[in-house]
Amino acid sequence: MFDPGKLPVEVVQILDENGNGDERQLAAFSDEWLLRAYREMRRARVIDERLLRMQRQGRIGTYAPFSGQEAAQIGSALALHKDDWIFPSYREVAVCLMHGMPLEQFFHYVQGRLSGKRMPEGVNIFPTQIIIAAQTLHAVGCAWASKLKGEPHVSVAYFGDGATSEGDFHEAMNFAAVYNVPVIFFCQNNQYAISVPYRKQTASRTIAQKALAYGMKGVLVDGNDVLAVYETMKQAVEAARRGEGPMLIEALTYRLGPHTTADDPTKYRRPEEVETWRAKDPLRRLRLLLERRGLWTEAQEDALVAQVNDEVTAAYEAAIASKSGSIVDAFDCVYSEAPKLLAEQKDEVMRRKQRSGVR
């Protein structure tokens, strides 16, 4: 009799929740790498906490917190090259910052400005996708283009567990495998799609095993272990770059806060559940390792937090002091060369603005 629980799915962990691991595996990571990973995760946590408070103060718009998912985001981003492409959903703030998005620009985005997702030249990040799973198809298209052009770039689609219930996800997986394109599907399984728990999403024991049906490799990794995430992502990216095709990575993690600032997670989650996962905090486990090695102190922690808070304040103040843009800018955000009809519409809007005296 068929037993889906016995499907071969690799599970990867290097650092457990108490900061312990096999010394032979840990030896592959230099002190410098470990410190950088921790600093980037701590920076991300400070930024996330500040953004959540700023939304509550009415200083920015709706926001999707990511605290608890720093290892999944930072670990995977550290494995990418600058020229690789990422296709984020609304929760990948840490990934985008790691890949070159200026923090000031993110403030433009959460203030509703068109400039918020117009990436600087050379920053290979597609605009944030709000439609669940749509970015998976975009990533496949970009990867196919890279393959056809002979470019060594890898595309990465970031999404949550809820996205795997969408048709776009399955179409993208099938297309990617059939055409053997260099794309990584990176699922942050944070246990909930808004208020819908994982057990009501799918009968599969894991999301990673869904890859088998499409003829690609699926890997289940401890998403709160930045070392394991990095190693898993590095192997996937290198394989894709060699032309060995796509891979699905499921990073098992947890969203400590609300789905967005419009959500109240206490309506559908028990406090005991949250505390169980809080003990698996990705920052805590790496900090324990650093402290045991004498690489991190409370003074260093305080200095880093203060530095990042200053960075957030400066980026916010620069954003609100900058020009907010105009409706005319909307015509320049879709096509590299505007079609005739769109150009005519832009001209008409500009004439009306001139007649009305509106800037």
Could you give the residue numbers annotated as active site? 255, 259, 268
For residues 119 and 332, the answer to whether their CB atoms sit within 8 Å is no
CA distance linking residue 152 with residue 65, whole number of Å: 33
Looking at 175-286, which runs of residues are DSSP E strands? Answer: 183-189, 192-193, 196-197, 217-222, 247-252
Give the residue among 109, 99, 105 at the shortest CA–CA distance from 155. Answer: 99
Tokens of 84: 């690789």
Query: φ and ψ at 275, to 5 degrees?
Result: -65, -35
On the CB side of 48, how many CA atoms lie within 13 Å of its CA? 28
Phi and psi at 335, nearest 5°, equal: -105, 145
CA angle at residue 128 from 123 to 132, to 5 degrees?
Answer: 145
State how far the alpha carbon of 50 is from the alpha carbons of 66, 294, 306, in Å: 12, 29, 12
Query: Is residue 157 helix, strand or coil?
Result: strand
